[in-house]
Amino acid sequence: MSAFFLLLLLMKRIGVMTSGGDSPGMNACIRAVVRAAAYNGLEVVGIKRGFQGMIENEMNLLNVKDVANIIQYGGTILKSARSKDFMSYDGRKKAFDNLKNHGVEGLVCIGGNGTYTGAGIFYKEFGIPSVGAPGTIDNDLYGTDYTIGFDTAVNTALDAIDKIRDTADSHNRVFFIEVMGRDSGFIALNSGLAGGAEGILLPEIMNDFDDLIKHFENKSKRKKEFSIIVVAEGETEGHAFAIADKFNSQFPDNDVRVSVLGHIQRGGKPTANDRILASTLGNAAVEQLLAGNTNVCVGVVNHKVNITSYDDAIHNRKSIDPMLWNLSKILSH
C-alpha cells in the first residue's frame, strides 16, 4: 500500500476555500463540505480569501454550527480574492507551511479554471491533494452540465430583461442588454431565449451581428415594434454600447437604448437548482478526497456526478448547446 494512500486513510482534517469570482451557491457548497466531512469523521479548516488567505494564514476550524443558516445567502462566507503571491514558488511554500501548521491534509477548492490550475501546481510541488468544485456563473467549465451560480445568474438576468421589456414596449425602443460572459455566451443564450429576445449575440458565434442586421432589414419578419437584444460581454463585435452605436448607424430611425447588468448577476439568493447542485458537489468533493483522488474536479452530467481531471477541465472548451442556439433563431422570427 502506497504512503500516499495510507495518508488518505488516516486523513483527519481538510481545508475548504472559495477562489476567483463569487457565485450564488458557494455558501451551500461550503456548508455541504463541512457537513459531509463531519459525517465522515473529518475536521474542516475554512480558508479565507482563497490562495491569498492561505498565504496570509487566514484559517479557522469550521464546525456544523458555523455553516448553519448560510445555504440561502449569495456570496461566500469565506470571501474570495485573486492572488498574485500564489503565482510565485515562495508564495506557495508559505501557503504549504501554513496548511501543515493547521494540520490540513487535503483541500476542497471551489472556483474555476484559475483555481484548478493553482491547486494542480500546488500538488505537484508540495503533495497536497485537492478536489475542485465548479463555482462560476459563466457555466464555462468542462466536465459539468452546470456550474454553481449559473442558474441564479440566468434568473437574475431574466428578471431584469422582463422589466426592461415593459419599458421597451411602452416606448417602442430597441434595447441592447449586456450580460456577463467574457469568454462564453451561456448566460446570454439562456436568458435571451427565456426572455424572448429578438437577437442574441455570443462570443462563440461568428457573424451573429450581420445576421441581426439582415433580420431587421427584412421588414416582413418584424413582428413587434420593440426589440430586446441580449449581448454577452465577450461578444467579438464589442460591448453593448459599441454594438448599439453600430446598429443605430444603420437604423437611425430606431430609438436605441443600452442596459449593462454587470455584477448584479453575481449576487442574490441562490435558486433551488443552485443550492441542490452546490450541495451535491460539496459532498462529492469530500467523497473523492476520501477515495484517494486528487487533481480532479466534480461536476454533474446528465444528473449524475461526474469526475474530470484538472488538465481536462482546464484545456477543453465547453460548447454552447447548438439545439438552444437554433431554437433561439427559430423563435425570434
Using one digit for the tens of pLDDT, what is the confidence trace for 290-301? 999 999 999 999
**Across residues 26-38, what is the average pLDDT?**
98
In the chain, CATH 3.40.50.450 sits at: 3-149+270-315
Tell me the whole-structure pTM to 2 decimals.
Answer: 0.94
pLDDT at 216 over 80: yes
**Among 3.30.70.520, 3.40.50.460, 3.40.710.10, 1.10.40.30, what is the CATH number of 152-266?**
3.40.50.460
pLDDT band at 224 (very low <50, low <70, confident <90, very high): low
Asked if 274 is an active-site residue, the reply is no
CATH 3.40.50.460 segments of the chain? 152-266
For residue 1, pLDDT beyond 50: no
At 226 the pLDDT is 81
Query: Partners of 47 in the beta sheet?
Result: 17, 59
Measured distance CA(104)–CA(269) in Å, rounded:
31
H-type helices in the chain, by residue range? 3-9, 26-39, 50-55, 89-101, 113-126, 150-171, 186-194, 208-217, 240-250, 272-290, 310-315, 322-331
Annotated catalytic residue: which of 22, 85, 90, 138?
138
What is residue 137's predicted lDDT score, i.e. its pLDDT? 97
Rounded Cα gap, residues 61 and 14, in angstroms: 10
Q: Does domain 3-149+270-315 have CATH number 3.40.50.450?
A: yes
Per-residue pLDDT reduced to its tens digit, 76-124 = 999 999 899 999 999 999 999 999 999 999 999 999 999 999 999 999 9
State the pLDDT at residue 77. 98
pLDDT in tens, 247-260: 999 999 899 999 99
